[in-house]
Amino acid sequence: MTKGLDRLKGLSTSVGTKLFIILILLLAFAFVVIVYYNINTYTNHLHQNVLKNAVQVSNIIKSACYYSMLKNDRESLQSIIMSVGSQEGIDGIRIYNREGIISFSKDKGEIHHVADKRAEQCYVCHREEPAKGLVPTKDLTRILTSPEGYRQLGLVNPIENSPECYNAPCHAHSKEQKKLGLLDVKLSLKSIDEEISATRKRMVVYSVALILFTALLKGGFIVLLVHKPIKKLIKGVKEVAKLNLDYKVDVKSNDELGILANSFNEMTKELKNAQSHLVFSERMASLGKISASVAHEINNPLSGILSYAKLTSRILEENGADPEKIKIALENLKFISEESKRCGEIVKNLLLFSKKTFGTIKGEHLSTLIENSIRLVEHSAKLQKVKFVKEIDGENDIVVVDTGAIEQVFVDLFINAIEAMPNGGLIKVSTKNGKDDIMITVEDTGCGIPEDILPRIFEPFFTTKDAKKSTGLGLCMVYTIIEDHGGKIEVFSKVNEGTKFVITLPRLSKKLS
């Protein structure tokens, strides 16, 4: 559950997610504007067509009634209105005379009713008195609501006086009368509104579907072109932070992220070269510290060898040497042989340590690695009157490690312990074998590390010693090597009581395998 929440939190803060959200918001905004514009344009266009058709319908009705009005055939005129009014979409037809009385209507109950000049169909012309003569077509229409709740379009079409009317023998219209009445038509907008509503819904649904499709498409491109490369770069940075300088970021593209990945790989390559130089420098520093004690250690047996060689030469140069002197000469030669062999071992161990390289992974007894490391520094330890106390569990202590690197760890820890005890002391080395790992403890009785310095001892180039005598890389290398093996190292120290390093080393490191 916690991992899922952390992953969700990571997604919510990633660049790819933010870019995706911004693009979707912009896309949604653009679609909303486009859909709104299209719906309004479509609705206005439909309304214009409806108005035009309404005017045509009104004119057709007036034309159909023209002959009956000219003949003053009221029955025929009413019949025409009833017939036309029964057509779908026509909710009402009225003919008003010039006094505002309904002379003919689809609804016979309305006939002979007097219209109120303030009514919607009259107010357009009678807003001012006397009534307007000419009224724009758009002002002759109005939107109504039917008793059933749907919209209606009302259109007032004036019936003008014409020569056929005022010259007809059956009419009493004078030539001066401009308008004889008006035709009022109500058309249903129910089907039009339903079509507009359906069209609006379809456009919204299609737009949402298109937004989702585009979002998925853009999301896929963002994941492929942005999120995954950035994720690989982040992983690369984390690996380098763990000092895994062999890690390569696999981003194959020619864009900015590809250039960044290539630059990152070049940087890790340079860092690895720099690390190799630092490792070499630290090894040379360790050799320098060991060499002083080795020179002193070799000097003692060489002095003895020289003295005994001269003494033996004198004995053998004497003529008629008695058997007792020959016996002494043989003992001297044996001493020379043993001391020469000891010098050879000292030099051999030093050469092996200097030539040993990192990167050789193999199975080895941990006790052997510890013994090899102790042999390299035991001469320095003797000079400082430091003794080793070993409590090593040699049973089933095989580990698959970089043997050169692990020996470097022990040598650095032993040298630091020896330098912390200028007046002598003890170095206790102990191991405890587990099923999957081995715990190694290196403990000294030296001066200890102050509490304020303790958290910084693994930092690169940090040292409390003379900068000319120390590179400040020893414990940093120790920490890096143990981390590279998938292990961990802890330090406990008290001033004037000593320091203890506890290493947990896997038998088989997943990082190395």
Q: pLDDT at position 428, please?
A: 95
The single residue listed with the structure tokens 């004078």 is 174
Up-side HSE of residue 495: CA atoms within 13 Å toward CB? 5
Q: pLDDT at position 178, please?
A: 74
Q: pLDDT at position 17, please?
A: 76
The one-digit pLDDT tens for each residue of the chain (513 residues) are 454 445 545 545 567 777 778 888 888 888 888 888 888 888 888 888 888 888 888 888 888 887 787 777 888 888 888 888 888 888 888 888 877 888 888 888 888 888 765 555 555 555 555 555 555 555 678 888 888 888 888 888 888 777 777 676 655 566 667 777 888 888 888 888 888 888 888 888 888 888 888 888 888 887 787 778 888 888 888 887 776 777 788 877 777 778 888 888 888 887 777 666 666 555 555 555 555 555 555 655 666 666 666 667 666 666 555 677 667 777 777 777 666 666 665 565 555 545 445 567 788 899 999 998 898 888 778 888 899 999 998 888 889 888 888 888 898 899 889 988 988 999 999 999 988 899 999 999 999 988 888 888 877 666 766 545 555 667 877 888 888 888 999 999 999 899 999 999 998 876 655
463/499 Cα distance (integer angstroms):
16
Q: Find out whether 475 and 493 touch, Cβ atoms under 8 Å.
A: no
DSSP string, 469-496: T--S-HHHHHHHHHHHTT-EEEEEEETT
Q: pLDDT at position 66, please?
A: 79
Domain ranges of the chain: 17-194, 271-506
**Six-digit token pair at 379?**
């001469």
DSSP string, 178-224: -EEEEEEEEEE-HHHHHHHHHHHHHHHHHHHHHHHHHHHHHHHHHII
Q: pLDDT at position 465, please?
A: 67
Give, in words, the CATH class of 17-194: alpha beta
What's the maximum distance between 2 C-alpha atoms anywhere in the chain?
Answer: 187
Q: Find out whether 338 and 375 touch, Cβ atoms under 8 Å.
A: no
> Taking Cα atoms as reference points, which of 50, 51, 61 lies closest to residue 159?
61
DSSP three-state, residue 394: coil
94/82 Cα distance (integer angstroms):
10
pTM of structure: 0.45
Domain 271-506 sits in CATH at 3.30.565.10
Q: Find out whether 356 and 404 touch, Cβ atoms under 8 Å.
A: yes
Q: Do domains 17-194 and 271-506 have the same CATH topology?
A: no
Rounded-to-5 percentages of helix, strand, coil across the chain: 55, 15, 25
